[in-house]
Structure 1
Amino acid sequence: MTEPLRLSKRMSELGLCSRREADEWIARGWVRVDGIVVSELGSKVLPSQRISVERQAAAEQSKRVTILINKPVGFVSGQAEDGYQPAVALIKEANRWSEDSSPTLFHPTQLRSLVPAGRLDIDSVGLLVLTQDGRIAKHLIGEETSVDKEYLVRVRYTKGDKLPDSDLRRLNFGLTLDGKKLKPAIVKWQNEDQLSFTLREGKKRQIRRMCDMVGLKVLGLKRVRIGGVKLGNLPEGQWRYLGADEQF
């Protein structure tokens, strides 16, 4: 690869920050290419060139928070819609989990640029990540993400007594959505009416649509894990900070 590409894109590729953060840093004069400050947005670089950032950028990035919330039914993940509140409305001191061990103090400025890194539909509950850190957002929802997500799904079979083993195998690998074959999943019974789904992709209402294709009606859906971070005992409607020792 020898073609020049946008500096902000290259910074994102290198894992330094998100493209939006890169543009902010470039505009503030916090980015150097081969030791020379580059402050013009849209500047291009070669892959062989060395990119560094000023200490101010690293200091600002370290202040950015990542919050884990146990989203209840009736809240949307992102922007408010159709009269429903976004999950970020729950992020206030009164709803912070009393057992959160993080020393971080809550401040309303932490709500700025706090965006969901992945979604849960309005009828689903469980682990939702909200972050100010573009690196985390890219890691969780970028096209190349390898972070798996685990869900517990309560179901009822509508075509007889029991889901055939052949359809369970199709849930693991063999279904197509929106004209594309789904990536392999891990789907297994937890008990007689609950399945565990582990996915590495997140198409819109994917699990509900997968279940519908094999005659399963979803009665409840809860996300319990994203990579190495578990929902654990976090109560519904409450939140905590991502711990310094936790990694997705």
Structure 2
Amino acid sequence: MNEPVRLSKRMSELGICSRREADEWIERGWVMVDGKVISQLGSKILPDQKITVRKQASLEQSKKVTILINKPVGYVSGQAENGYKPAVSLINETTHWKNDPSKEKFRPSQLRSLVPAGRLDIDSVGLLVLTQDGRIARQLIGENSTTDKEYLVRVKYLKPGRLPDSDLRLLRHGLKLDGKPLLPAKVHWQNDDQLRFVLHEGKKRQIRRMCEAVGLKVIGLKRIRIGQVRLGDLPPGQWRYLGADEKF
């Protein structure tokens, strides 16, 4: 516990900012350790040393936006691929939800460094988070993230009869993907052909692969919640800002 660690890593661990932001602030002379400015990248400190940042850093961080979008089918979460457009291409003044309670005004500069904090595959719809804030990205997709995500999944059973209770229990806990056990999940029937999933992880196409493992075909998949933030009435293809009072 008393081994020196990189200053940028320690700042990220404490939730002050992302590592990339920490490096930028260090280079600008905005970071102090025990009252002394540290401007050398790669500097190491002891875990019990006190880190403070100048007001310029806090001011710059407060300008960063986080955007919630109701992603439609046919858009990829991240960079354009195979001819499909990225979800960020939907963000402009005309697609800004008219009922957004935020007082924030859209500026094209908000699109810079706006990255998805988690995936939602091309055939899935619902809540996607795009953020400029490294702290939020780390909270949602970092190694130690515990933020749960809720989905409504329309399915078709490919075998005679109905999905056995034993397979429903297997969806909740006991399946493996890529040779690794999955974390326990909450899975319940919403109605005859729709399941509700609550996951604490987000492996690639996880729900679709889980369903395939027990003979279910996914017909439609919609993410409706990430942590305490819900999709709500946000229309497909439109977006809003994460409110100042909203926390994941």
Per the shorter chain, which TM-score range? Answer: over 0.9
The amino acid across from 2:115 in the alignment is: V
Residues 1:233 and 2:233 aligned together: yes
| Shift of residue 200, structure 1, vs aligned partner | 0.1
Q: Unpaired runs of 5+ in structure 1?
A: none
> What does residue 136 of structure 1 align with?
136
RMSD: 0.5
User: What CA distance in whole angstroms lies between the structure 1 residues aligned with 2:113 and 2:8?
Assistant: 18
Q: Deviations over 1:92-125 (max 9, x none)?
A: 0000001001100100000011110011000100
Q: Return the offset for 1:160.
A: 1.3
What is the alpha-carbon distance in structure 2 between the residues aligned to residue 151 and residue 112 of structure 1?
29
Q: Percent identity?
A: 74
C-alpha distance after superposition, 1:158-188 (max 9, x if no partner): 0112000000000000101111110000000
Amino acid in the other structure paired with 2:172: N
Contiguous gaps of at least 5 residues in structure 2: none
Aligned match of 2:67:
67
Q: Deviations over 1:11-45 (max 9, x none)?
A: 00011000000011001100001111111111111
Given the alignment of the two structures, is residue 247 of structure 1 paired with residue 240 of structure 2, yes or no? no
Match of 1:146 in 2: 146
SS at match of 1:204: coil
Question: How far apart are residue 244 of structure 1 and its match?
Answer: 1.3
What does residue 58 of structure 2 align with? 58
Aligned match of 2:124: 124
Match of 1:112 in 2: 112
- For 2:92, give the aligned amino acid: K
Q: CA deviation at 1:48?
A: 1.4
How many residues get paired? 248
Q: CA deviation at 1:229?
A: 0.4
Take 2:181 and 2:139, find their aligned partners in 1: how far apart are those partners? 23
Aligned to 1:211: 211
Give 1:130 shift: 0.3
Segments ≥4 residues shifted beyond 3 Å = none
Displacement of 1:10 in angstroms is 0.4
TM-score by length of 1: 0.99
CA deviation string 1:111-165 (max 9, x = no partner) = 0111100110001000000001111110011111111000000000001120000
Paired position in structure 2 for 1:102: 102
Query: Normalized against structure 2, the TM-score is what?
Result: 0.99
Rounded Cα–Cα distance in structure 1 between residues aligned with 2:2 and 2:83: 50
Name the SS for the 1:210 alignment partner: helix
